[in-house]
Amino acid sequence: MMTAHVLTTFWRFSSGFRTSSRKIIVHLPQIRTAGTVSIFQRIPREELVTKFKSRLRDRQFLPGSSGGGFPEFLAEPRDSFPLGVRVNNRNQFSLAELTEKCMDYVEENFPHSPAILFRDLPAKTAEDFSIIAQAIKGKTLTYDGGTAFRTQIDKNAGTYTASIDPPSYTIEPHNEMSFNDVFPSKVFFFCLKPAAEDCGGETPLVKNKELLSKLDTAVVRKFQEKKLRYVRYLPDKSRGEYMNWQHVFFTENKEDVKPRAKEQGYSVTWDPNGDLYLWQNRDVFIRHPLTGEKIWFNQATSHNGSYYRDMPNFHGKEIPDDKFPCHTYYGDGSEIEPEALQHIRVTAWECAVGFQWRSGDLLVMDNLAVQHSRIGFTGDRMMLAYLTA
């Protein structure tokens, strides 16, 4: 729901120009309160802006950043994206009670604010995040079949670390597990420790709707006609290579793999060395179940071999595409043109915005409407994650 606010003030723009004092009608998302007038307060955009801008163009270990077209820096939050909300706990609710109120707020505001950052919850530890996770209604999803390294923190609560890929590496914008038949509708990130100022570590966000509107129609049409093929290579852990099938499926038993892979839409092939190949063809679009909007929902770039070639642990190595952890093709098995991949990457980063994390922040995202990523960082940083269907 949009509410018209009448403002009578001076507006100062970054260009240095200023309007005269007059009434201006501005349409802003209404801050709903889930039945408690004083519990939620909107955070000023300025509080979410990072003091130092992270460079994107020519950034080391960022796929495509030297290929032309990249924005120079990661953009600031804009248009209430993400929507920052401060939680005022004057009534001394328990953390579980506050979580329930936050989730009511999410359900009411998600249609126009698909990424909401809650700040000042009485939560600082992994144990606190477990309480939050257990208070969230809905089916918990595991990371079975995921492609990123992560560690399960609390099996009962279903919490994990966020990706523990090399910290210097920048993770591309993506919708979580969009390559699977089973994917989360909501993604929750909890900040245990943010990266220090000017050390990177932001979580850039991209609206899928905006991204699709800016993609070249010819590129989109070709993907729509041919579909997208995902191929995953998961070696046995005995060779000590990267992501192995035992880690991905959380099992040592091959017999457990096929039914789990089938649930996620994959066909399974074992080679004589005990290595696993998974593959499937998928549409690049889905319809959002609430809004009915056509959503660009795939990982054409972040599952392509070109994504891994820029990783620190693969950089400079001669590895065939089918021996990277993942590779993508058009649905007919033909290679995706490098120009198409670069166009998608450039457009996604043009749409991306970053914000300033604080310890204890809880970010709730509509996984179908919002892509997320991670800027490479130095020093310490720790994020936890939780998924729901």
Mean pLDDT of 57-72: 96
Domain 217-344, CATH among 3.60.130.10, 3.40.50.2300, 3.20.20.70, 3.40.390.30:
3.60.130.10
Q: Is 90 exceeded by the pLDDT of residue 204? A: yes
| pLDDT score at 145 | 67
Model confidence, pTM: 0.86
Sketch the domain layout of the chain as residue ranges. 43-206+351-388, 217-344
**Six-digit token pair at 115?**
């990424």
Q: Which has the closest alpha carbon to 200: 164, 165, 170?
A: 170
State the pLDDT confidence band at 9, using cuts at 50, 70 and 90: very low
| CB contact at 8 A, 186 and 364 | yes
Mean pLDDT of 46-73: 97
| pLDDT score at 247 | 85
Distance between CA atoms of 279 and 269, rounded to whole angstroms?
A: 9
Tell me the pLDDT tens digit for each residue of 311-322.
888 888 889 988
Domain 43-206+351-388: assigned CATH number: 3.60.130.10
Distance between CA atoms of 105 and 29, rounded to whole angstroms?
A: 13
Q: Which has the closest alpha carbon to 271: 239, 236, 305, 241?
A: 236
Phi, psi of 107 (to 5 degrees): -60, -35
30-39, 194-203, 223-232, 362-371, range with the lowest pLDDT: 30-39
State the pairing for strand pair 370-374/326-330: unpaired
| pLDDT score at 2 | 39
Answer yes or no: same fold for 43-206+351-388 and 217-344: yes
Tell me the pLDDT tens digit for each residue of 185-194.
999 999 999 9
| pLDDT score at 239 | 83
- Per-residue DSSP letters for 279-293? EEEE-SEEE-TTT--
Mean pLDDT (the chain) is: 89
The pLDDT > 70 percentage for the chain reads 90
